[in-house]
């Protein structure tokens, strides 16, 4: 556990994180320890978004991952960048209960709370009842251990929960303020893909079932979020208390049913991205619903009927009860009104100078939203009518993130040019949702039934070839990349043809990880391309220069690796991300450009270095850089700066013990090394290396050390001694290194 938690770690009592320590005790121990086993979190990692999803219908983790030492992301994009976008979010459902004379009831999975989720806390009203299916992961990727024919995306999370219990299951702890459950069971599925043209969104697809005895009218369903766009590598999560959370601007685009948030005045220059929450579509027993439709086909009456279906947007200031427009909803009636009445329909929304606006509040709502503030917002859809026992409503939203389109103006301007990438990304996710419903009318029209199922299949994306199965080896000043021929046999789901065309090789430049935001996706540079010769597409370079005479095989690996590309003249010890992708020919008939597998889906972090040393008596181990100067070029900037330093022991045997001493002979640290080293013993690799330790590739004869003692104390400058003991031969070698501050 050395190095996992900073020595001066403590609970931050800032506004949003107040009570975090109590939360940890409540969730992972104490009176509710039995319930703690039921609550689960998973983090998306197929796409370029790292979004925490729970089995109680909440999203994000209130930045707990930066306080408990796990480093678990809340809603980070791009992956590895440190740019967070969401404090916490959740689903809301509300309606008028006929059995109680039309009384309004609302159930929420998350609500404004400085501490975020905790069992029994007000606003967190959905729980996992005993006997519920486990929180599952599925994947449509054949090489995934979660492969399932039922999977929709490269990574599905599936959870079942309901609002029926008024106490935390397994305890006597009441759920505060939850006197009138609606008795709604939610089957929630989230989808994310690793395609480069779709790795910026996570779909939230929910089926809500009435499992009670009451019938509800005028039902609305919403996705509530407390979005916060900040770079935690620049400003630690929660630093400065309320000021950390009050720098965001908000907005809503009616035509896209898309709410969004951006960093207006916080870490500007390090947080140039938007997060959006978008309503995609819905269906119940009466048919398909979307505000874009003037009417819907009533499946019960088998006729088209007029629609009054809406997508509403509302926003409010955290803990505000004074401003009538941005008031904080404190009961079910007020929460329902937030869903049923859109701020986007207010007379001050489109024309603040109109007489109607001047007679009410006389303010420019959109400009007020753009100004920095600490806000929550919600996108809701409805009304759904006659929600009777046994009925189901399917509602789909999406989280969408996009880099700001830089036009030279400050973030706070928030103009259409800056939002263009967000708009494009929103259109992509809507296209994916529409699937076979090409004209988006909710009816399977002639010629649209591509899979012969007789019903609309949604979430269909054009697909590039399968990502190449890849292995990476490193040696002194060199990286060797091997990959298989599996991409050749990929079948496009739209054309049903094998349209593979070629491979591309990518690598990041030296120092990409420490000279700025460690965003791998934007730093990968194409260094080679190979494609089928003599077919009239692309460069027709052929594969002769990379094709092996015989396939390369690796122990405990059944794959055959037919291709090899070598990158040499690299400095030892430095990190380079490398990746191989496959691309297709595209399809001119349907105006589809060539598609490429995502570079991030099989990227490796490779460290050139010395190979395992079988004769240390002739070729002694050594340390580099030596002398070591604090702030060495490869260290970068981190919130854990003193724990993120490193030097390298090189020329090591396959298995050895390294001991570090002061000149007086006092033992500073002791390290056990073997050639399968993955870097996870020190903070530097957890901050700047790969999320998955298996993607860190070392040469086998090198080992990093964080310059901390065995008791995680910072060592002083001066001369130090080390010995390397070969565990296989019994031979020892000694050396020295210097630390200069």
Residues 6+ apart with CB under 8 A from 529: 502, 503, 504, 505, 538, 539, 541
Provide the 3-class DSSP secondary structure of residue 693. helix
Q: Is the pLDDT of residue 240 over 90?
A: no
Residues 6+ apart with CB under 8 A from 41: 52, 53, 54, 61, 72
Main-chain phi, psi angles of 274, to 5 degrees:
-115, 150
50/513: higher pLDDT? 50
pLDDT band at 70 (very low <50, low <70, confident <90, very high): confident
Main-chain phi, psi angles of 651, to 5 degrees:
60, 35
Nearest to 510 by CA among 609, 599, 606, 644: 606
pLDDT band at 737 (very low <50, low <70, confident <90, very high): very high
The mean pLDDT value for 314-329 works out to 83
The mean pLDDT value for 588-598 works out to 77
Tell me what pLDDT residue 589 has.
67
Tell me what pLDDT residue 495 has.
66
Residues 6+ apart with CB under 8 A from 219: 93, 94, 95, 382, 383, 384, 385, 387, 393
In angstroms, rounded to a whole number, what is the distance separating the alpha carbons of residues 404 and 422? Answer: 8
What pTM does this model have?
Answer: 0.74
Give the tens place of pLDDT for each residue, 431-461: 899 988 888 888 888 877 777 788 888 998 8
Give the whole-number percent of the chain exceeding pLDDT 70.
92
Q: Environment class of residue 144 by beta-carbon count within 10 Å: exposed (0-12), middle (13-18) or buried (19+)?
A: middle
In 347-477, DSSP assigns E strands to 375-384, 392-403, 470-475
Q: Is the pLDDT of residue 19 over 50?
A: no
- Burial string for 575-596 (b: 16+ CB within 10 Å, else e) reads bbbbbbbbbbbbbeeeeeeebb
The mean pLDDT value for 319-337 works out to 86
Domain 622-740 has CATH 3.30.460.80: no
Tell me what pLDDT residue 78 has.
93
In 675-712, DSSP assigns E strands to 696-697, 703-705
Task: Specify which of 3-7, 299-303, 310-314 reaches the highest per-range mean pLDDT.
Answer: 310-314
Tokens of 356: 């109607």
pLDDT band at 689 (very low <50, low <70, confident <90, very high): confident
Give the tens place of pLDDT for each residue, 197-237: 889 999 999 999 999 999 999 999 999 999 999 999 899 99
Instruction: Answer yes or no: are the C-beta atoms of 649 and 702 closer than 8 Å.
Output: yes
First to last CA, the chain: 27
Main-chain phi, psi angles of 434, to 5 degrees:
-60, -40
Q: Is the pLDDT of residue 523 over 70?
A: yes
Helix/strand/coil percent split, the chain, to 5 = 15, 35, 50
In angstroms, rounded to a whole number, what is the distance separating the alpha carbons of residues 320 and 375? Answer: 10
398/39: higher pLDDT? 398
The radius of gyration of the chain from alpha carbons, rounded to an integer in Å, stands at 28
Q: Is the pLDDT of residue 32 over 50?
A: no
Instruction: Answer yes or no: are the C-beta atoms of 87 and 245 closer than 8 Å.
Output: yes
The mean pLDDT value for 337-363 works out to 88
318/668: higher pLDDT? 668
Give the tens place of pLDDT for each residue, 605-640: 999 999 999 999 999 999 999 999 877 777 766 666
The mean pLDDT value for 495-514 works out to 88
Tell me what pLDDT residue 644 has.
75
Mean pLDDT of the chain: 89
Q: Is the pLDDT of residue 299 over 70?
A: yes
Tell me what pLDDT residue 516 has.
61
H or E, element range at 333 = helix 332-340
Give the tens place of pLDDT for each residue, 376-385: 999 999 999 9
Strands 478-483 and 557-568: antiparallel
In angstroms, rounded to a whole number, what is the distance separating the alpha carbons of residues 707 and 704? Answer: 9
Give the tens place of pLDDT for each residue, 132-149: 899 999 999 877 899 999
In angstroms, rounded to a whole number, what is the distance separating the alpha carbons of residues 57 and 710? Answer: 42
In angstroms, rounded to a whole number, what is the distance separating the alpha carbons of residues 723 and 116? Answer: 49
In angstroms, rounded to a whole number, what is the distance separating the alpha carbons of residues 251 and 274? Answer: 10
The mean pLDDT value for 631-656 works out to 81
Domain spanning 470-607, CATH class: mainly beta
Instruction: Answer yes or no: are the C-beta atoms of 47 and 202 closer than 8 Å.
Output: yes
Give the whole-number percent of the chain exceeding pLDDT 90.
66
């Amino acid at each position: 556990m050395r190095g996992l938690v900073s020595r001066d770690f403590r609970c931050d009592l800032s506004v949003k994180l107040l009570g975090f320590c109590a939360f940890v005790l409540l969730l992972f121990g104490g009176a509710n320890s039995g319930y703690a086993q039921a609550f689960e979190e998973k983090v998306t990692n197929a796409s370029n978004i790292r979004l925490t999803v729970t089995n109680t219908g909440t999203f994000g983790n209130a930045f707990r991952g930066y306080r408990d030492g796990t480093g678990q992301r809340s809603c980070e994009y791009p992956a590895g960048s440190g740019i967070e976008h969401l404090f916490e979010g959740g689903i809301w459902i509300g309606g008028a209960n006929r059995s109680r004379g039309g009384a309004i009831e609302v159930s929420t999975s998350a609500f404004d709370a400085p501490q975020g989720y905790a069992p029994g806390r007000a606003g967190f009203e959905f729980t996992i009842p005993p006997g519920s299916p486990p929180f599952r992961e599925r994947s449509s990727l054949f090489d995934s251990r979660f492969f399932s024919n039922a999977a929709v995306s490269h990574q599905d999370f599936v959870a079942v929960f309901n609002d029926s219990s008024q106490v935390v299951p397994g305890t006597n702890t009441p759920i505060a303020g939850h006197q009138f459950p609606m008795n709604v069971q939610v089957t929630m599925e989230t989808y994310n893909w690793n395609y480069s043209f779709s790795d910026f969104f996570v779909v939230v697809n929910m089926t809500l079932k009435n499992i009670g005895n009451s019938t509800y009218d005028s039902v609305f369903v919403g996705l509530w979020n407390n979005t916060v766009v900040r770079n935690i590598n620049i400003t630690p999560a929660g630093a400065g208390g309320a000021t950390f959370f009050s720098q965001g601007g908000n907005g809503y685009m009616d035509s896209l049913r898309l709410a969004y948030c951006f960093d207006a005045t916080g870490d500007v220059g390090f947080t140039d991205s938007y997060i959006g929450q978008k309503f995609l579509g819905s269906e119940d027993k009466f048919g398909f619903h979307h505000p874009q439709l003037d009417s819907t086909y009533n499946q019960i009456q088998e006729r088209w009927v007029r629609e009054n279906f809406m997508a509403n947007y509302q926003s409010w200031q955290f803990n505000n009860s004074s401003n009538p427009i941005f008031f904080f909803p404190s009961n079910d009636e007020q929460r329902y009104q937030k869903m049923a009445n859109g701020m986007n329909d207010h007379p001050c929304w489109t024309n603040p100078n109109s007489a109607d606006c001047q007679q009410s509040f006389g303010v420019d709502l959109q400009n007020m939203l753009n100004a920095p503030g600490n806000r929550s917002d919600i996108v809701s859809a409805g009304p759904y009518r006659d929600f009777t026992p046994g009925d189901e409503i399917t509602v789909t939203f999406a989280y969408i993130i996009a880099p700001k389109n830089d036009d030279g103006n400050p973030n706070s301007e928030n103009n259409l040019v800056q939002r263009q990438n967000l708009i494009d990304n929103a259109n992509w996710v809507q296209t994916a949702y529409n699937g076979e419903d090409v004209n988006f009318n909710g009816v399977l029209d002639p010629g649209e039934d591509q899979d012969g199922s007789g019903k609309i299949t949604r979430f269909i994306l054009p697909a590039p070839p399968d990502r190449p199965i890849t292995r990476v080896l490193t040696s002194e000043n060199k990286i060797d990349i091997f990959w298989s021929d599996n991409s050749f046999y990929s079948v496009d789901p739209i054309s049903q043809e094998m349209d593979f065309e070629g491979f591309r090789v990518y690598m990041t430049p030296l120092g990409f990880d420490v000279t700025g935001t460690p965003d791998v996706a934007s730093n990968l540079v194409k260094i080679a391309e190979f494609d089928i010769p003599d077919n009239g597409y692309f460069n027709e370079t052929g594969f002769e220069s990379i094709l092996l005479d015989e396939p390369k095989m690796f122990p405990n690996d059944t794959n055959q690796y037919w291709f090899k590309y070598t990158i040499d003249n690299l400095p030892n010890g430095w990190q380079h991300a490398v990746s191989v992708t496959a691309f297709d020919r595209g399809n001119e008939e349907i105006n589809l450009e060539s598609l490429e597998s995502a570079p991030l889906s099989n990227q490796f972090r490779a460290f050139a270095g010395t190979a395992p040393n079988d004769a240390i008596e002739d070729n002694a181990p050594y340390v580099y850089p030596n002398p070591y100067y604090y702030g060495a070029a490869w260290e970068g900037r981190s919130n854990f700066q003193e724990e993120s330093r490193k030097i390298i022991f090189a020329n090591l045997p396959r298995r050895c013990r390294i001991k570090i001493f002061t000149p007086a002979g006092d033992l500073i640290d002791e390290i056990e090394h073997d050639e399968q080293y993955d870097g996870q013993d020190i903070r530097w690799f957890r901050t700047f290396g790969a999320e998955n330790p298996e993607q860190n590739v070392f040469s086998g004869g090198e080992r990093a050390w964080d310059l901390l003692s065995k008791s995680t104390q910072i060592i002083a400058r001066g001369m130090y001694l080390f010995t390397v003991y070969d565990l296989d031969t019994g031979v020892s070698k000694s050396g020295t290194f210097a630390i200069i501050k």
